Amino acid sequence: MRRLNFLKIFVALVLVTVGAYLVPLAPAATVGPVTDPIGVVKIGKGEPIVIAWWFVVEGPDASLGIDTKRGVEIAVDDIGGKLLGHPIKLIGENSGCNAEGGVTAATKIAANKQVVAAVGSNCSSEAVPGVPILWKAGIPTVSPSNTAPILTDPKRGPGYDGYLRTAHNDKVQGRVAAEFARKVLKANKAATIHDGSPYAEQLAAVFAENFEKLGGKIVAREAISPTDTDMRPVLTRISLGVPDIIYYPIFIAAGGHVTRQAKEIGGLKKTALMGADGMFSPDFLRAAGPAALGMYHTSPDLSPEALGPRYVEFLKKHEKKYGEKPLAPFHAHAYDAAMMIFEAIKKVAKTDAAGNLYIGRKALRDALYATKNFKGLTGILTCNQWGDCADPKIAVYQVVNTDPATWNPGVNPKKIWTPYVKR
């Protein structure tokens, strides 16, 4: 099954990469007062500016997408639902947290010629094949939660020119996890588990690389499929190396199985368990149950002392609007992604005498990449030429109560380490 997942992702990536070479963007156009080398979106007087989202809003990882969707919705509320005199219209597609879902969602969004920009995706496995599809249509996308290093790597290949992210790069998160394991837990031996996704595989690799640089030993590097339910064979193999810690930056369903079944393996009774932001949700406590007690997570620092009074106000709005606390760690990053897009639109859009609005597609893309010292909820954002914009603050948390109703990041899971890392 794992090899099949790898093959599907590889085939999808090859197809969109070839397409990026062979299928040009929209031809240069002059529409109204705007000339743009890849096209212009005309928005008639009183008509909406269409912004798309592509998030995972169904299935076991839906909390991640619902969380980010709400961040975008609050951003729209905060600008009064309008921009430059035009209402903002949000449309969206479920992206499934897999390569196939990413392709489907991106294809549907790209077919809508009125979409100005997109927020998404959630999972890096969606972004790898989906981003080039959007950019071939001239639609830039800003992700609030893609963290795989490959997405902003200078060697990433064609088709990603319209991609940016407000989420951290896992080169940061993996390093923080390794430093915590070695310096705080004093772990000498570690094992890793990934699920074949770009996110999990690359984050596990960054952790392992940094753990070894710090003098630790990696005794096992294992892989599962996201749909696996019996993790005992993998965990039994890992136990032979007697690791002090297992780092498994995977998603909720599989993470729940690993967490519960690790407690059944005799050789892992004293082994610490550590997940990452893909499982940082009350839904994970439901999936893992009592076995999650005491385990660790790396995830963005969402504490008021890290993000300040604006974030406290955001939380009040969130609870008033949705009747509950945020469900996952990237709602503030989604808010920032939407606000970045709105600011970029204001910089490049032009209006004619009749009240029509015109937005050059490449001009919008360039304005996004030119973002400098943007005051977001998550920090001061400045984008580099490859699309990394985050002001990363990664914390380490520990689960102190496995009742999902007690979920309150910083309190439960309790924030226990905050080595702020600057790019």
In this structure, are 131 and 205 located in the same domain?
Answer: no
Residue 3: pLDDT over 90: no
Residue 159: pLDDT over 50: yes
237 in a structural domain: yes
Spatial distance between the Cα atoms of 421 and 423, rounded to a whole number of angstroms: 7
Spatial distance between the Cα atoms of 151 and 156, rounded to a whole number of angstroms: 6
Q: 314-338: string of b/e by CB count within 10 Å (b at 16+)?
A: bbeebeeeeeeebbbbbbbbbbbbb
Residue 156, pLDDT score: 84
| Rounded average pLDDT over 371-381 | 97
Residue 5, pLDDT score: 47
Spatial distance between the Cα atoms of 344 and 280, rounded to a whole number of angstroms: 31
Residue 419, pLDDT score: 85
Neighbours of 29 (CB within 10 A): 15
In this structure, are 338 and 408 located in the same domain?
Answer: no
Cβ neighbours for 277, distance < 8 A, ≥ 6 positions apart: 145, 147, 173, 249, 297, 298, 299, 300, 328, 329, 330
Residue 29, pLDDT score: 82
> What is the pLDDT confidence band of residue 54, given thresholds at 50, 70 and 90?
very high
Percentage of the residues of the chain whose pLDDT score is greater than 70:
93
For the chain, what is the domain count?
2
Residue 420, pLDDT score: 63
In this structure, are 151 and 8 located in the same domain?
Answer: yes
> What is the pLDDT confidence band of residue 47, given thresholds at 50, 70 and 90?
very high
Beta bridge partners of 396: 298, 417
320 in a structural domain: no
Residue 198: pLDDT over 90: yes
In this structure, are 122 and 210 located in the same domain?
Answer: no
- The model's pLDDT over 289-314, given as tens digits with 9 standing for 90+, comes to 999 999 999 999 988 888 999 999 99
| Rounded average pLDDT over 390-415 | 95
In this structure, are 124 and 30 located in the same domain?
Answer: yes
| Rounded average pLDDT over 163-179 | 97
In this structure, are 44 and 95 located in the same domain?
Answer: yes
- The model's pLDDT over 313-345, given as tens digits with 9 standing for 90+, comes to 999 999 999 999 999 999 999 999 999 999 999
In this structure, are 184 and 232 located in the same domain?
Answer: yes
Closest CA to 346 of 21, 119, 82, 11: 82
In this structure, are 401 and 374 located in the same domain?
Answer: no
The structure's pTM equals 0.90
- The model's pLDDT over 218-260, given as tens digits with 9 standing for 90+, comes to 999 999 999 999 999 999 999 999 999 999 999 999 999 999 9
CATH of the domain at 183: 3.40.50.2300
Residue 1, pLDDT score: 33
In this structure, are 225 and 249 located in the same domain?
Answer: yes
In this structure, are 252 and 151 located in the same domain?
Answer: no
Residue 157, pLDDT score: 78
Taking a C-beta distance cutoff of 8 angstroms, is the pair 151, 159 a contact? no
- The model's pLDDT over 64-116, given as tens digits with 9 standing for 90+, comes to 999 999 999 999 999 999 999 999 999 999 999 999 999 999 999 999 999 99
318 in a structural domain: no
Taking a C-beta distance cutoff of 8 angstroms, is the pair 170, 204 a contact? no
141 in a structural domain: yes
> What is the pLDDT confidence band of residue 27, given thresholds at 50, 70 and 90?
low
Residue 19: pLDDT over 60: no
In this structure, are 178 and 204 located in the same domain?
Answer: yes
The residue range of the domain holding 245 is: 171-303+394-417
In this structure, are 163 and 175 located in the same domain?
Answer: no
Residue 13: pLDDT over 90: no
Taking a C-beta distance cutoff of 8 angstroms, is the pair 389, 367 a contact? no
